[in-house]
């Protein structure tokens, strides 16, 4: 046997890594789905409430971009109170990873991001579907719609990320994504 016909340890590990990347997703969180994506993470959304749009890279080569996150925080603000908070980067990662999994070109429509306790209480008084201790009040949740994908498609993509909660609201045509405990609900 010649040296060229022997598999080196490095070659074997490289072959394994290539197989792992192309195999079915088995990552335990949304950030895993974003690895190998050109070392950048991007978020694209628009708000029908404010008329604002956001399309930006918020993470490059292992680092979150502070200025980009400030823009995301403001974009996802409670528009009723005009107040923002720090949006948990894990929530942004879930949103971005799900968007990538769906291979969608259109931006999310943000229906609800951060909510002040006052806004949450007002919405709760009008609807039984609003949690008293909603993760929206911690900047850890978003309610989203995507023109090119169904609620089922969005929910499956978000659930595949295993990065938090995924609520399916088919009658209202949106999906809730958060970075809390992994769970699913709704139809």
Torsion of CA 83, 85, 89, 90, to 10 degrees: -90
What is the tens place of the pLDDT at every residue in 114-155?
999 999 999 999 987 888 999 999 999 999 999 999 999 999
Dist CA 153 CA 142 (whole Å)? 17
- Position 90 confidence tier, pLDDT thresholds 50, 70, 90: very high
Residue with tokens 């659930």: 159
Q: Report pTM.
A: 0.79
* H helix or E strand, kind and range, residue 184: strand 183-186
Question: Which of 5-9, 33-37, 183-187 has the largest mean confidence?
Answer: 183-187
Q: Are 139 and 83 in contact (CB under 8 A)?
A: no
CATH class of 28-186: alpha beta
pLDDT given for residue 34 in this prediction = 53
């Amino acid at each position: 046997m010649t040296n060229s016909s022997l598999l080196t340890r490095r070659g074997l590990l490289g072959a394994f890594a290539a197989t792992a990347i192309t195999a079915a997703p088995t990552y335990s969180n949304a950030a895993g789905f974003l690895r190998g994506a050109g070392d950048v993470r991007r978020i694209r959304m628009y708000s029908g409430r404010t008329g604002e749009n956001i399309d930006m890279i918020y993470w490059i080569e292992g680092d979150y971009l502070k200025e980009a996150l400030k823009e995301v925080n403001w974009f996802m603000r409670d528009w009723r109170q005009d107040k923002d908070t720090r949006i948990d980067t894990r929530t942004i990662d879930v949103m971005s990873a799900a968007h990538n999994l769906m291979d969608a070109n259109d931006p999310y429509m943000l229906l609800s991001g951060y909510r002040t306790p006052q806004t949450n209480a007002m919405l709760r008084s009008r609807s039984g579907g609003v949690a008293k201790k909603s993760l929206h009040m911690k900047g850890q949740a978003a309610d989203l719609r995507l023109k090119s994908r169904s609620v089922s498609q969005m929910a499956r993509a978000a659930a595949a990320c295993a990065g938090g909660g995924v609520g399916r609201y088919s009658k209202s045509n949106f999906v809730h994504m958060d970075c809390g405990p992994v769970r699913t609900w709704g139809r």
